[in-house]
Structure 1
Amino acid sequence: MLNRLFLPSIFALLIYGFWVSAEFKVIAAGVAVFLMGMVYLEKGFKLYTGGLLENILKKTTSTLFKSVSFGLATTSLLQSSSLVSVIVISFLSAGLIGLETAVGIIFGANLGSTAGAWLLAVFGLKIDLSSYAMPMLVFGLLLNTRAAKPLKGMGYILIGVAFLFLGIHYMKEGFDKFQSSIDLSAFHIDGIYGILVYTFLGAAATVIMQSTNALMVLVFSALAVGQLDYVNSLAIVIGSNIGTTVTTVIGAIGANAQGKRLAAAHLLFNVVTAIVGVVALNPLMVTVDEIATLFGIHPHDYTLKLAIFHSLFNIIGIALFIPFIKLLVKWLKSLFNDSYSKEPLNLAKIDESSMERAIYLNPAVLSYPDAAMRALTKESGRLYRNTLELICYGIYFSGEQLRNTDNLSELAENWEKEEQPWSIKGLYIRHIKGIYADIIHFAGALEGNLPRQQAQELFALKVACRNFVQAIKHVKHIYKNMGKYIESENDEIRHQYNQLRLCLASVLKLVDILGVRRNYNHIQEHAAQLKLELHEQDQQTYSTLNKLIRSEQVDSYMASSLLNDSAHVHDACTNLIDGAVIMITRDREEYREYDLAGFTPAAQKTSS
């Protein structure tokens, strides 16, 4: 109900403002042009984030100080703490950074948001920005027509900065004329009541405009011409810090528990900082005056003093939270529980009936191809780990047994059958189908945004996941016979089915080891050797089967079952090997050229 009333109310207020005041039109247009500049600036920087932002994150966020510095620098550059917050939530949800790192970046982003205030106070209100905006707009449009990504990105950035400058110009011009018709200073409210009212107005205005910088331009413009009282301006700045968290909260709605934790940290930081700002407003104003005097700032230069205040109370907020950040992270982890376990899936113990879904694929990360590919890779790895457990279940082992033994033959000989209350189909639906569906959906949404090299890698990942799913389906066909014949009184048929178990277990074991060690140099040789051994084992199975039939050690029913199941095991092993090879080597030079039509890496074609 509130959502349906919100937009019509805003439209009604704007129409009324346009009707009663021509100056209001100029101010509103200035806000719109400024916000349009933010949109173009974001588009431009996104064209440069392919790998750059992720690489910077890796190198510059290893400590808390570096994380805060990264948030400060990126927000100062992008001029949007909301955008940085959404990016960080996306990366955190995708598992690319840790929670403590993300919280540090958010703290730095709050301080970085004050850079815009300094630019406005020092330059924006004292020079004619429109004279700089016009040539930037012309050059930006010319560059934007180019196909080359760097040139197009620079075009977007120039257009964005030009619109920002024009927006500031029109807002400043609108307030200059506005004071001749309406005196906003008449709405000045003294005391704590005024501080609370204007804090609320600052928060509400930031929520409506979705931009702290746009609100800062309005406040600085109004303050510069005397339309807004200095103390009330300080209260609006405090309120804007609360309002800017709304974007983070919205961005976290579709995120996992990690994303929600970060949104809670952002909200807590800004609310606590705002409370400190309101409670300690008078001491902070005295401190601002002393800093202004120290640097020779005129006592009545309220715009610069407002910029000092904006930075000061954010610095105080960071100083208050930094000593307790580990406690904060611990509390945040208890606040939202993960819907998944970081431990390997154990089908012998799990008793949940809900369908597992993707945990790393946050839609917000789709705008950042490298981060999206990393998230997709992590989710594909998770699909493989579930596949391993499910195939182990299908051959009456467990993943834990497979990982902890070095002698598979001994494991098979000492095996004792345990109750298995779930069908392979039911386990597939619970632990594979939902994740696989999410991977395919995410990959489809991502596909159109990727350059050729990453598009090939994406396709390779999809083929790998398909191979894992196909391997499970082959195992599903042998599950019933496997359970029947590994307990058979017929020694020969029992031995043959144990050999099939050992074949699958050996492939799983080797693939798991290769995946952990990332043995790039020998993965092709290992894969080729495995396939050769599979082929030889197939031939051996046929030869042995013929002997068993001639000697009447197995009947025709057993023989047909063994023949079919041997083929399924061979296909399952081949699927696992192919999927694992792609997962491990998809980012290597020899796998860059992918035959999208034939589902076969070029490296395999040339070697075959």
Structure 2
Amino acid sequence: METIFMFIGGFGMFLYGMNIMGSGLQKAAGNKMKQLLGMLTNNRVLGVIVGALVTFIVQSSSATTVMIVGFVNAGLVNLSQAVGVIMGANIGTTLTAWMVAMGEWSQYLKPGFIAPMVVGVGVFLMFFSKDRRKKQIGEILVGFGMLFIGLEYMSDSMRDHRDSPVFKQAFAFLGQNPVLGILAGALVTFVVQSSSASVGILQTLAAATFLPLNAAVYIILGQNIGTCMTALLSSIGANKTAKRAAYVHLLFNLIGSVLFAIVIFVLFTFINPEIGGIQTTMTNISIVHTIFNVGSTIVLFPFANHLVRLSTKIVRGEDKPERDDEDSILRHLDERILETPSFAVENAIKEVAHMGKLAIDNTKLATEAIYERDIEKFNQVIEEEKHINLVEKLITEYLVKISNTPLNQHQQLIINNLFNTVNDIERVGDHAENIAELAEYYISKDLYMSNEAIEEMKEISDKTIETIEFAIDARESENMDLIRKVIENEELVDTLEETLRERHIKRLSQNLCDSTTGVVFLDLISNLERISDHALNIAYYVKDEIL
């Protein structure tokens, strides 16, 4: 019982340490994750690099592939771009294995020696440092130390069983039966939902008991297949293209494992049978794990397009044309992307900008309804306003979910500002609806304005729409020049609103305009001026983030 409790406790600390370290690395990476997202072009070599780096940062190839399935489902990347990232994710997971193996290289790198000191330094930085960057480094160190303490517990729990015939016979059996060895590795990885964790368990067993090389190799192959199950499960409910991304991951690891297994089987059975029975080490496992993942990428990289085509044979048919309804909005706000909060923040920015463009289009429709005396455009505005309200609700819910993920201080500021931005955009939509209702009243009452009043309305509406367009573009691009344009335009709209109000009151006093028409005009320019105020708010949020 003591052995079981120690092993489970150690494994729990190992997983928790990986999670804390990954969380700290993501926070420290911050805007660099945004740059990685920008590298996701059709250049697959860059995709491999991105996949490896992201996997090292989040400490899980499963998290990376689930995230990629979410990206594909949301339409942020295509299947061709996803292939390179999926291949790179397998390489990134080898870095954790090398960290675990460090204990074999030097007395000073052993878990029992290094872990307490690392945790102590990390906690000191987290609790006593006021610098945000140092706090993040502290979090990484605490996670790193916890990972090593977990390894020490797992290793200690198994030491008394080093010479146990049960373990020797079990591993010898797996080493002589490649299929069973592969199945064992796949099953363990599927249960713990992390190939990095399952490789860590294998390394711990190698350090504490007799583990023959042939058993270790076959189990490693199975671990790489088992990690695909997480992405496959996450693709349930996704569109066909996202399902294909999950199957590309499975095909890549399955084909690589079969090819590698054939070579290893021939080596261990016919060429050098003795080598398969030697005692393996933590470092040996890291080497095998790395050779397999890097080798599979090199061998299968030229056949990436064939993997894509094969996935289309498995998942047949085409996705239906996207409808602009709740399902399509939810598809863009894919929860799988929450696996990597930095990317989720960028996705949220894109969707908030999309909502802003909907509000801009509605404002244009509303003003055109007056100029063109088009009652149909009034109806379109009312329908579109319902859609904008739905988008606001779904984005707000998504932002709440992001705010509950590990974020650094700057990312938390962006999320807080996005909450406010969504509210401002919703208010822009309300003002567009107000303008549309003025248009409906103007048309139904058969009112007419002078040509001078119409031209003035066009002047202020054009400037207002330009201002909100600059603000939404600034939100998406974080461009300081656009923020300056918003500030300049907003001042112009304020001045213009005052000037036009005075001119129209003068026309009313000279009986050049009807009083009822005058109310429509004054309410219209007031709503436009309020829209420019909301544009200024949005610009200031972005300015606050940049500075």
Superposition TM-score, scaled by structure 2 size: 0.78
Of stretches 386-395 and 498-507 in structure 1, the one that deviates more from structure 2 is 498-507
Larger radius of gyration: 1
Partner of 2:278: 300
Are residue 473 (structure 1) and residue 420 (structure 2) matched? no
Give the whole-Å Cα distance in 2 for the aligned partners of 1:426 and 1:324: 48
Deviation at 1:201, TM superposition (A): 1.9
Contact 1:355–1:434 (8 Å) recurs in 2: no
Q: CA deviation at 1:68?
A: 1.7
The one-letter code of the counterpart of 1:528 is E
The one-character-per-residue Cα deviations of 1:129-163 (angstroms, maximum 9, x if unpaired) are: 32333333333343343253334333333333333
Say whether residues 1:389 and 2:361 are aligned partners: yes
Residue 44 of structure 2 is aligned to residue 64 of structure 1: yes
Tell me what 1:605 maps to.
none
Counterparts of 2:502 and 2:378 in 1: how far apart (Å)? 35
Q: Runs of 5+ in structure 2 lacking a partner?
A: 475-480
Tell me the residue number matched to 2:393.
Answer: 437
Aligned to 2:501: 538
Give the letter aligned to residue 187 of structure 1: A
Q: Give 2:196's match in structure 1, choosing from 208, 213, 223.
A: 213
Task: Decide whether the 8 Å contact of 2:39 with 2:50 is kept in 1.
Answer: no
> Are 2:84 and 1:107 aligned?
no
Change (3 A) 1:465 1:579: farther
Q: Does residue 374 of the first structure (1) align with residue 356 of the second (2)?
A: no
Contact 1:171 1:221 in 2 (8 A): yes
1:116–1:213 CA contact under 8 A, matched in 2: yes
Instruction: Looking at secondary structure, tell me which structure has more helix per residue.
Output: 2
Deviation per CA, 1:497-521: give whole Å up to 9, x if none: 6864664355325643676695444
Offset, 1:386:
0.9
Distance 1:362 1:184, change over 3 A: same
Which residue type is aligned with residue 122 of structure 2?
A: G
Aligned-partner residue type, residue 48 of structure 1: A
Match of 2:60 among 64, 77, 80: 80
Which shows bigger deviation, 360-369 or 211-220? Answer: 360-369
Give the direction of change, closer, same or farther, for the CA distance of 1:94–1:371 in structure 2 (3 Å limit).
farther
CA distance in 2, matches of 1:419, 1:85: 46
Shift of 1:276: 3.3
Structure 1 Cα separation of the partners of residues 417 and 367 of structure 2:
28
Q: Distance in 1 between matches of 2:96 and 2:449?
A: 79
Amino acid of the residue matched to residue 82 of structure 1? S
Q: Distance in 1 between matches of 2:86 and 2:271?
A: 24
Residues 198-245 of structure 1 deviation map (CA, whole Å, 9 limit, x = unaligned): 222211211222332332233344456664443333222111112223
CA offsets, 1:162-198, max 9 Å, x none?
3333333343344342244552233357699932222
Please report how far the alpha carbon of residue 469 of structure 1 lies from its aligned counterpart in structure 2 after TM superposition. Answer: 2.4
Residues 124-139 of structure 1 mapped to structure 2, 5 A cutoff: 124=104, 128-139=110-121
Amino acid at match of 1:158: L
Matched ranges for 1:11-160 at <5 A = 18=1, 22-55=2-35, 58=38, 63-73=43-53, 75-76=55-56, 79-85=59-65, 100-118=80-98, 123-124=103-104, 128-148=110-130, 149-160=132-143
Shift of 1:319: 2.8
Partners of 1:47 and 1:514 in 2: CA distance: 27
CA 138–589 in structure 1, closer or farther in 2 if over 3 Å, else same:
closer
Paired amino acid for 1:529: L
Distance 1:28 1:221 in 2: 13
Residue 70 to residue 546, structure 1, CA distance change in 2 (3 Å): same
Pair 437,588 (structure 1): closer, same or farther in 2 beyond 3 Å: same
Structure 1 residues 111 and 370, CA gap change in structure 2 (3 angstroms): closer
**Alignment counterpart, residue 427 of structure 1, candidates 384, 388, 398:** 384
Q: Is the 8 A contact 1:394 1:475 kept in 2?
A: yes
- Correspondence for 2:302 among 307, 314, 323: 323
Alpha-carbon shift at residue 364 of structure 1 (Å): 6.0
Partners of 1:376 and 1:509 in 2: CA distance:
23
Whether the aligned pair in 2 keeps the contact of 1:241 and 1:270 (CA below 8 Å) is: yes
3-state SS in 1 of match to 2:29: coil
Aligned residues of 1:35 and 1:211 also touching (Cα < 8 A): no
Contact 1:485 1:493 in 2 (8 A): no
Q: Which moved more, 1:581-590 or 1:569-578?
A: 581-590
Deviation sequence 1:516-549 (CA, Å, 0-9, x none): 69544443222211221222222333333444xx
Contact 1:242-1:271 at 8 Å conserved across structures:
yes
Which among 470, 477, 492 is matched to residue 529 of structure 1? Answer: 492
Task: Kindly state the Cα deviation for residue 496 of structure 1 after the two structures are TM-superposed.
Answer: 5.2
- Taking a change above 3 Å as real, the CA distance of residues 581 and 246 of structure 1, as seen in their structure-2 partners, is farther
What RMSD, in angstroms, separates the aligned Cα atoms of the two structures? 4.6
Q: How many residues align?
A: 533
Structure 2: how far apart are the matches of 1:511 and 1:504? 11
Given that 1:463 and 1:579 are in contact with CA atoms closer than 8 Å, whether structure 2 keeps it comes out as: no
> Structure 1 pair 533/421, CA: closer, same or farther in 2 (3 Å)?
closer
In the TM superposition, 1:550-589 aligns within 5 A as 550=511, 554=514, 559-560=515-516, 562-584=517-539, 586-588=541-543
Q: Is the 8 A contact 1:488 1:494 kept in 2?
A: no
1:187 matched to 2:187: no
The residue type equivalent to 1:107 in the other structure is M
Answer yes or no: is the 8 Å Cα contact 1:486–1:494 preserved in 2: no
In structure 2, distance between residues paired with 1:496 and 1:355: 43
Distance 1:528 1:73, change over 3 A: closer
Relative to the length of structure 1, the TM-score reads 0.71
- 249 and 498 in structure 1: CA distance in 2 versus 1, 3 angstrom threshold: farther
